[in-house]
Amino acid sequence: MASGPAGEPGTAPGVPAPAAGPSAFRRLLGYLSLAVKLALFALVFALAVKNSDPVTLKFFLGREVETSLALALVAALCAGALFGVLAMTGYVIGLRRDGSRARAEGAALRVERDALRAERDALAGELAARAPLPTDPAAVAAAMAATDRQVPHGL
């Protein structure tokens, strides 16, 4: 095992040791992600401040609510997200059911595969016990010649 100048196992001389923490690229991506999130928050906050004018929402049966435009927009966004989640619930439940069926089928196929492998190994052991393979080169050549005569070449 090669050792580095400081005697660390597994490092070659002249090769720097791997960094202990996250790579510089991952740290850069983390900072970039944080900057994008802060910029997005600042834009949404500025939009809310600029749209703080009061609006009147008119519902059915003569019910009215007066609120700021920003709050009405956030409420509409949340309601849309909730309806989207509810609309996808049936599809996700179906996918989970299909996944559990596939896992059960895979487990049954693995059991069947293991049984077939055990049967194959048992048959191979029986075959090896009946007729041991010749190890002498002359006997191997004779066995091959006998096999060539028994099997038609057209098959």
Note the pLDDT tens digit of each residue in 22-45: 788 889 999 999 999 999 999 988
Residue-level pLDDT at 14: 63
Q: How far is CA 6 from CA 3, 12, 19, in A?
A: 8, 10, 16
For residue 11, name the pLDDT band (cuts at 50, 70, 90): low
Residue of 134, 152, 153, 151 lying closest to 143 (CA atoms): 134
Mean per-residue pLDDT, 86-105:
96
- Residues with Cβ within 8 Å of residue 119, at least 6 apart in sequence: none
Q: Are 47 and 65 in contact (CB under 8 A)?
A: no
Question: Does the pTM of the predicted model rise above 0.75?
Answer: no
Q: What is the distance between the terminal CA atoms of the chain, rounded to a whole angstrom? A: 55
pLDDT at 89 over 80: yes
Provide the b/e sequence for 107-140 (b: ≥16 CB within 10 Å).
Answer: eeeeeeeeeeeeeeeeeeeeeeeeeeeeeeeeee
Q: Are 10 and 1 in contact (CB under 8 A)?
A: yes
Mean per-residue pLDDT, 42-51:
86
Residue-level pLDDT at 1: 46
Percentage of the chain with pLDDT > 70? 77
The domain segmentation of the chain, as residue ranges, is 23-52
Mean per-residue pLDDT, 41-61:
87
Provide the b/e sequence for 57-70 (b: ≥16 CB within 10 Å).
Answer: eeeeeeeeeeeeeb
Residue-level pLDDT at 71: 87
Q: How far is CA 134 from the centre of its chain?
A: 49
Q: Are 7 and 17 in contact (CB under 8 A)?
A: no
For the chain, the average pLDDT equals 83
Distance CA 105, CA 112 (A): 11
Q: Which residues pair with 67 in a beta bridge?
A: 55
pLDDT at 52 over 50: yes
Q: Are 68 and 75 in contact (CB under 8 A)?
A: no
pLDDT at 134 over 80: no
